[in-house]
Structure 1
Amino acid sequence: MGRRQIIGLILGPSLFSILYFFPAITGLDDAPRAVLAVTAWVATWWITEAMPIPATSLMPIFLLPLTGGAEEETATMAYTDPIVFMYFGGFTIALAIEKWNLHKRIAMTIISMVGTNSKRIILGVALATALLSMWISNAATALMMLPIALALIADIKEKDFFDDASFHKFAKGLLLTVAYAASIGGLATLIGSVPNAVFAGVSAQILDVRITFADWFLFGFPITVILLTVLYFYMTGWKFKVKQTGNISDDFAKNQIRELGPMSFEEKAVLTIFALTGTLWISSGFLPENIRLSDTTISMVGATAMFLLPSKNAKGGLMKWDDMKNLPWGLLLLFGGGLSLAAAFEESNLTDWFGELLQGLQVLPFILILIVLAAIVLFMTEIMSNTAVSNMLIPISIGLALGIGVEPYGIMAIVALASSCAFMLPISTPPNAAVFSSDYLTIDDMVKAGFWMNIISILVIVMFVYFWQPLVLSP
C-alpha cells in the first residue's frame, strides 16, 4: 500500500469515530449523525482508494443499519435502483459494439468523411471520439481511439508532411483531442459519464423526480457541442497550430475500412439495436403518458436483444454470457453505494442540516456561487476520482441549494458536469491517463493545455446552468 492508502485507511474510521461518538461536534440527532459519520468514512476510502472502490461501495449496506443511520431495506434497495440497471443495459450494448469492432468502423468512417488536412483530421477524431463517448464510457472510448490516433501520427510522420516542430505539435494536439473529446462527449447523455448517472439517481432518491434520458440529453448535448467547437479551434487555431507542407492523404482511414471488409451481419444487427435503443432513449420523453417506456426498460430490452439475436459467424447470440466478464461490475456497485448514502441522507433528514449550515452563502449572487462551486469541484477532480467527487458532493449540493434558497438542479448539475471536465493532469481522468501513456506528451504539455480548457469549461458550464438548465431541466 502507498502512503495515500495508508493515510486513508487510518483517517476513514477516525473521522467516523469522531463524528459518531461525539454528538456535541455536530449537534445532530442519532440517525443523521450516523449517516454523516458513515459518509465521511466511505468518502475518505473512495478518495484515497484505501480499499478497492467497488469494495468500499459495499460498506453502506452494513454500516448504515448497524449505526442506526438507515433501515437495512433502505441501504440495500439503492443497489437495485433503475438507474443501475439502465447503466447495466448500456454497458452490455457497449460490449457488443466492441466485440464486433463496430466502434472502429464508426470512427474510421467519420475520419474518412471529414477531410485530408491536419485540422480536419483533428476534427474527425474529435467527432468520432465524442460520438462514441456519448454511449460508451469515456475510459473505454479513449482506449479504443488511442491506437487509431497513434497509427495516424505514425502514418503522417512517415510521409513527412510537417517539419519537426509542427509534427510534435500535431501529435500532441491529436492525442489531447482524444482525451478531452472523450470527457466532453460523455456530458451529453446519462450513460456517457458516471456523474450524470449519479445526478439522476440522487434526484430520484432524494427529490423523488425521475430525470429521463431525453431530459438530460436536451440539457447536456448543447454543452457538448459548444465545448467540442471550442476544443477544435483551441487545438488547431491556437495551442497546437501547425505549418503543413503538403496535403495529407485520407488513404489511412479508407485502408482501415477496407481491412475491416464488408459490414458483417453481426455489425449490422448490433448497429440496428444500438440505433433503436438510442432513438427510444431520446424520444421516450415525448411519448404519450399511457406508454410506460422508461429509460431502464429500453436499456434492458436492447441488452437482452443482444443475447436473443443469433450470430451467423459464431455459435449462439450476438452476445454470450462469457462476454459479460468484461462488464464493469465494480462501477455498478459504486452507483449503488452512492445511491445508498443518498437514500440515507433523505431518510435521516441530513440534507436539511447541510442547508442550515450553508445559509450564510445566500448573501452572494447566485452566479458567483455557481462559478466558485464549479471551480472547486473541477480542481478537486484534478487529483480525485470524479466518481468519488460526484457521489460525495451531489447529495450535499441539495443542502447547499436549500441553504441559499434556490432549486437544487442547478447546483447538482454544476457538480455533475464540472467533475467530468478535469483536463490538466494524467491522474485527473482515465482518458488523460490513456493518452499520457504515449511518448509524445509530458505533464507540462497537459497542464498548459488543460488549464485553459478548465477555465473555458467552467465558464461554459456556469452559463448553461444559469440560463439553459431552468428552461429544460426543472421539475
Structure 2
Amino acid sequence: MNTANKYYLSTLGILLLLLIFYFINPLNLEIKALKVIVVGLFMISLWILEWIPMPVVALIPLFVFPIWNIESIQDISKHYADPIIFLFMGGFFLALAIEKWNLHQRIALNILKKTGGNGNQILLGFMISTFVISMWISNTATTMMMFPIALSVLKVMSRNYDKSTLGNFSTAILLSIAYASNIGGLSTIIGTPPNTAYVGFMADHMNINISFFQWFLFLFSFSCAYFNSTLSCLYQMAISK
C-alpha cells in the first residue's frame, strides 16, 4: 500500500470514528458543541497527517460552520480578520526577514564580540542575544536560530578544552538559549503566540485593552529580573565540576 492510500484510509477511518462519536454523543453535549468538537478533532487529525496543506485545514470552519448551522459565515469570517491575527502575521513576517538576511547571526556575533571571550562572558553574550531576538520573534524560532551558532562556538572551544572541562559549560550554554528565549518572549506582545492570544482574550471577554507599551512596561522589568536570576544559576552550573 502506497503512502497516499495510507493517508486516505487513515483520514476515512478518523472521519468514521468522528461520525460515530457525533451520532452516539457519549458526553451528552448540546448539538452545536458536539459539532464543534467533531470539526476540531477532524482538523487536528488532518494537521497530524499533513496530507493537505495546514493553512487549508485552518480554513475548514469557514465553510463547515455555516453548512452545519454552527455559526454564520459573517460571524465566523470576523475571527479570521481579528487584529490579533494580523499581529501574528507581522511577527511572522519580521521573523522571516530576520532569518533571510541573517540578522540574528549579526546580532549574536556582535554581542558575543563585545561581551568578551571567557566562559562567563560567552554565556552572558548568548543569553543577551537570545533574549533580544526572542522579544520580536517566537521562542521556538529564536532557539532554532541560536542553536547552530552555539554549537559552532562549542565546537571551536572543544579544540582547546577537554570534555570534562567543557561538559558543564556546554550544558549551561544550551540551557541559556532555551531559558533566554522564553524569558525574552515575555517582554513584548509579539514575543510568543500565547501573549497575543492572551491580549485578544482579555480584549474580547474582559473588555480590557492592553497596549504594546503597557505590556512592555510591566513585563520587561519582570523579564530582566528573571534573566538575572537565571544567569546566576547558569553561572554556577558552568563553573561546577
Instruction: Give the TM-score band, short-chain normalised.
Output: 0.7 to 0.9
Aligned-pair RMSD on alpha carbons?
A: 3.1
For the residue of structure 2 that corresponds to 1:68, the secondary structure is: coil
For the residue of structure 2 that corresponds to 1:179, the secondary structure is: helix
1:35 equivalent in alignment to 2:36: yes
Q: Deviations over 1:345-378 (max 9, x none)?
A: xxxxxxxxxxxxxxxxxxxxxxxxxxxxxxxxxx
For the residue of structure 2 that corresponds to 1:70, the secondary structure is: coil
2:71 maps to 70
1:215–1:23 distance in 2 versus 1, CA, 3 Å: farther
1:66–1:20 distance in 2 versus 1, CA, 3 Å: farther
Q: How do 1:138-153 residues align onto structure 2 when only pairs under 5 Å count?
A: 138-153=139-154
- Shift in Å, 1:166: 1.7
1:379 maps to none
User: What stretches of structure 1 of length at least 5 have no aligned partner?
Assistant: 244-475
For the residue of structure 2 that corresponds to 1:214, the secondary structure is: helix
Q: How do 1:78-227 residues align onto structure 2 when only pairs under 5 Å count?
A: 78-158=79-159, 160=160, 162-227=161-226
1:21 maps to 23
Question: Could you tell me whether the CA contact under 8 Å between 2:87 and 2:196 is conserved in 1?
Answer: no
- Shift in Å, 1:121: 1.0
| Paired residue type of 2:239 | K
Question: Could you tell me whether the CA contact under 8 Å between 1:15 and 1:37 is conserved in 2?
Answer: no
CA distance in 1, matches of 2:214, 2:41: 32
1:360 maps to none
- Shift in Å, 1:50: 2.5
CA distance in 1, matches of 2:222, 2:19: 42
1:10–1:221 distance in 2 versus 1, CA, 3 Å: farther
- Shift in Å, 1:146: 2.4
CA distance in 1, matches of 2:138, 2:17: 33
Q: Deviations over 1:132-174 (max 9, x none)?
A: 011022333223322321232133223x2x4421212222321
1:215–1:59 distance in 2 versus 1, CA, 3 Å: farther
1:101–1:41 distance in 2 versus 1, CA, 3 Å: closer
| Paired residue type of 1:185 | G
1:27–1:136 distance in 2 versus 1, CA, 3 Å: closer
| Paired residue type of 1:195 | P
1:50–1:230 distance in 2 versus 1, CA, 3 Å: farther
CA distance in 2, matches of 1:202, 1:40: 22
Residues paired across the two proteins, number = 234
| Paired residue type of 2:34 | R
Q: After the TM superposition, which of the residue ranges 103-112 and 124-133 deviates more from structure 2? A: 103-112
- Shift in Å, 1:69: 1.4
- Shift in Å, 1:223: 4.4
For the residue of structure 2 that corresponds to 1:126, the secondary structure is: helix
The structure carrying a bigger helix percent of its residues is: 2
1:50 equivalent in alignment to 2:49: yes
Higher relative contact order, structure no. (Cα contacts within 8 Å, ≥ 6 residues apart) = 1
- Shift in Å, 1:18: 4.9
For the residue of structure 1 that corresponds to 2:158, the secondary structure is: helix
- Shift in Å, 1:94: 3.5
Question: Could you tell me whether the CA contact under 8 Å between 2:88 and 2:193 is conserved in 1?
Answer: no
1:195–1:155 distance in 2 versus 1, CA, 3 Å: same
CA distance in 2, matches of 1:225, 1:203: 25
1:12–1:78 distance in 2 versus 1, CA, 3 Å: farther
- Shift in Å, 1:200: 2.5
- Shift in Å, 1:217: 2.7
CA distance in 1, matches of 2:149, 2:68: 51
Question: Could you tell me whether the CA contact under 8 Å between 1:166 and 1:242 is conserved in 2?
Answer: no
Question: Could you tell me whether the CA contact under 8 Å between 2:168 and 2:239 is conserved in 1?
Answer: yes
For the residue of structure 1 that corresponds to 2:88, the secondary structure is: helix
Question: Could you tell me whether the CA contact under 8 Å between 1:60 and 1:75 is conserved in 2?
Answer: yes
| Paired residue type of 1:109 | N
Question: Could you tell me whether the CA contact under 8 Å between 1:8 and 1:44 is conserved in 2?
Answer: no
| Paired residue type of 1:202 | F
TM-score, normalised via structure 1 length: 0.43
For the residue of structure 1 that corresponds to 2:190, the secondary structure is: coil
Q: After the TM superposition, which of the residue ranges 19-28 and 81-90 deviates more from structure 2? A: 19-28
User: What stretches of structure 2 of length at least 5 have no aligned partner?
Assistant: none
1:60–1:210 distance in 2 versus 1, CA, 3 Å: farther
| Paired residue type of 1:85 | F
| Paired residue type of 2:77 | T
| Paired residue type of 1:237 | Q
CA distance in 1, matches of 2:120, 2:174: 13
Q: How do 1:246-261 residues align onto structure 2 when only pairs under 5 Å count?
A: none
| Paired residue type of 1:153 | L
CA distance in 2, matches of 1:138, 1:198: 15
Q: Deviations over 1:313-342 (max 9, x none)?
A: xxxxxxxxxxxxxxxxxxxxxxxxxxxxxx
- Shift in Å, 1:118: 0.8
